[in-house]
Structure 1
Amino acid sequence: MTDVRVGVVFRPQSPPEELREAVVAADQAGIDELWVWEDCFFEGGLTTAAAALAWSERITVGIGLLPVPLRNPALAAMEIATLARTFPNRFSPALGHGVLDWMGQVGARVESPMTLLREYTDAVRRLLQGETLTVSGRYVHLDDVGLAWPPPVAPPVVIGARGPKTVALAGEVGDGVLLDAWLVTRDGGVDTEYLATESARVREAAAAAGRPAPRVITFAEIEPETPALGDRARELVAAIAAAGADTVVLQCTSEHPNPGPLIAALAG
């Protein structure tokens, strides 16, 4: 388990004013990563991540994920670059389709989410690498756009994926994949077959595109009332890592979202 990174989620079912306590506790506990979500219509992913980065010293902060229909890619690249420069090597943004029903609620649903995600990810990644772009795609249109302050080292752009087509796309154009699945089964086991299959799929797609193998990140849900919570959490991390994950991010349930007990258990 020494090579796997371990994270926890601050779920948006917890109010924003509870974020600072969780961030400070996770940072002091030696946990590798803290992830926030941009679920509609709870908490803004970029504002939450910025606060978490400012309140911490060493922890990596991830957003899982930013729904691409909600922001122009130039704006997303500007925001990501600002955080990447201000907090070097500590910010991990993920892009994704978003929940399509939510996108429909705000008038942002598109006919081809796959096309949008491909065009958007390519544009954001190239802007962060300092390129000036003129592109005219189906959804992304940029005319001589370049960032005034691109980060010296571009942060990895992760794609949140569910289903074989999006997982393969993550391998083609992303620097990592965030697998959107509940890996813990009803009997408390781990769906290792699913994880192994999708991990292989994303790495094969990356190899076919001539790109490095993407980092594989997974979420796994755990009840904070679980007996011997720390031991159970470590067992889950070890099992999921053995099935192909590079980073395992543990989350509490929506009914009991407070990550405090989990953070304390991981620190013990």
Structure 2
Amino acid sequence: MTALGAIFRPQLPPERLRPVVEAAEAAGLEELWLWEDCFFEGGVTQLTAALSWTSRLRVGIGILPVSLRSVAMTAMETATIERMFPGRMILGLGHGAQDWMAQAGVRPASPITSLREHLTALRGLLAGETVTTDGRYVTLDQVALAWPPATAPQLYVGATRPRSLRLSGELADGTVLDAAHPPAAVRRARALIDEGRALAGRDDHHELVVFLNAATGPDAAQRLHRELVAWGLQDVPELGAHGDAAAVARGVQALVEAGADRVILQHTADEPDLEGFVRFTANEVRPLVP
């Protein structure tokens, strides 16, 4: 069955998170996703708080930029959260916006090499291994977690370009596609991911998470249009969904048919009722999505 979720965008103040999380839990929403955009809110802090306020909601990070923190710290934080809230964290990693990485003084000359080194080291650490590596961006000397998780969480990669998508297929358990991907782009991304999987000899299932711009209510069409204009995406065909639950469910289903396993609804910047949007996703759209 297709998983369905919603996003809490970091352009909202941190104090807005708790009521949205509690609404998601009460409504039976499957997944709530967070972003770690620079320089808004710490994704790990948000993730931990959201998990602590709930008992069954799965919470995803889409994504943590690997250059912002050392791989040892990422492993320590991930292991701690997974042990406290087993099976409810969805960990997304990626390059991050390179302009932001430059502002923070951590922009790598080769984002692909950096991501490869971070993913490889992180997987080893979370598996309880003692890791020694001397790479271009990751250097570890006999590092092992004192408290590795009983089961290492799956690693997802946020990717858009061909080399990153192939790398995700090669090394990650899943891929996160942002809301700039209509069905045709999802199909292309799935093909590139499969190329990476084939090169690595992988035959396990690779989860594909796709964000979908969505709006409901009497002014849904206008709000969605403003959102796409703000992202410079107004001329991309078949992008986003607006209207009642049936219309949004059709947008979800189009992405599923293109290869998505999980579709996460992304509210507009001017969404007037975020708790209502979460309830709409869980109570109205969910029953219409197979």
Instruction: Place the TM-score, normalised by the shorter chain, in its bin.
Output: over 0.9
1:215 aligns with 2:220: no
Per-residue deviation, 1:223: 2.2
Other-structure match for 2:103? 105
Q: Which secondary structure state, in structure 2, belongs to the residue aligned with residue 148 of structure 1?
A: coil
- The answer to whether the Cα contact below 8 Å between 1:176 and 1:217 also exists between their aligned partners in 2 is yes
Q: Assess, with a 3 A threshold, how the Cα gap between structure 1 residues 203 and 259 changes in structure 2: closer, same or farther.
A: farther
Other-structure match for 2:124? 126
My pick for the range that moved more, 22-31 or 153-162, is 22-31
1:94-133 C-alpha deviation (Å, 9 max, x unpaired): 1100000011111111100110000001111111111110
Q: What CA distance in whole angstroms lies between the structure 2 residues aligned with 1:224 and 1:170?
A: 33
- The answer to whether the Cα contact below 8 Å between 2:35 and 2:62 also exists between their aligned partners in 1 is yes
Structure 2 residue aligned with 1:88, among 86, 89, 92? Answer: 86
Which 5+ residue runs of structure 2 have no aligned equivalent?
A: 221-241, 285-290
Q: Which secondary structure state, in structure 2, belongs to the residue aligned with residue 142 of structure 1?
A: strand
- The answer to whether the Cα contact below 8 Å between 2:61 and 2:90 also exists between their aligned partners in 1 is yes
Superposition map of 1:154-193 within 5 A:
154-183=152-181, 191-193=182-184
Other-structure match for 1:188? none
Per-residue deviation, 1:206: 1.4
Other-structure match for 1:138? 136
Structure 2 residue aligned with 1:250, among 265, 273, 284? Answer: 265
- The answer to whether the Cα contact below 8 Å between 1:11 and 1:257 also exists between their aligned partners in 2 is no
Which 5+ residue runs of structure 1 have no aligned equivalent?
A: 184-190
Q: What CA distance in whole angstroms lies between the structure 1 residues aligned with 2:179 and 2:211?
A: 7
Q: What CA distance in whole angstroms lies between the structure 1 residues aligned with 2:179 and 2:268?
A: 14
Q: Which secondary structure state, in structure 2, belongs to the residue aligned with residue 222 of structure 1?
A: strand
Superposition map of 1:59-78 within 5 A:
59-78=57-76
1:179-220 C-alpha deviation (Å, 9 max, x unpaired): 13423xxxxxxx221111111221231133122232101111
Which amino acid is 1:252 matched to?
H
TM-score, normalised with respect to structure 2: 0.86
Per-residue deviation, 1:228: 4.5
Other-structure match for 2:190? 199
1:141-176 C-alpha deviation (Å, 9 max, x unpaired): 000001011111100010100111000000011111
Which amino acid is 1:55 matched to?
W
Superposition CA RMSD, Å: 1.4
Q: What CA distance in whole angstroms lies between the structure 2 residues aligned with 1:142 and 1:257?
A: 47
Q: What CA distance in whole angstroms lies between the structure 2 residues aligned with 1:154 and 1:258?
A: 36
Superposition map of 1:6-21 within 5 A:
6-21=4-19
Which amino acid is 1:116 matched to?
S
Percent identity of paired positions between Structure 1 and Structure 2: 46
Q: What CA distance in whole angstroms lies between the structure 2 residues aligned with 1:140 and 1:65?
A: 19
Alignment length (residue pairs)? 259
My pick for the range that moved more, 216-225 or 147-156, is 216-225
Structure 1 residue aligned with 2:145, among 141, 147, 150? Answer: 147
Q: Assess, with a 3 A threshold, how the Cα gap between structure 1 residues 118 and 219 changes in structure 2: closer, same or farther.
A: same
Other-structure match for 1:52? 50
My pick for the range that moved more, 234-243 or 136-145, is 234-243
Which amino acid is 1:200 matched to?
A
Which amino acid is 1:112 matched to?
S
Structure 2 residue aligned with 1:231, among 236, 246, 249? Answer: 246
- The answer to whether the Cα contact below 8 Å between 1:130 and 1:146 also exists between their aligned partners in 2 is yes
TM-score, normalised with respect to structure 1: 0.93
- The answer to whether the Cα contact below 8 Å between 2:216 and 2:243 also exists between their aligned partners in 1 is no
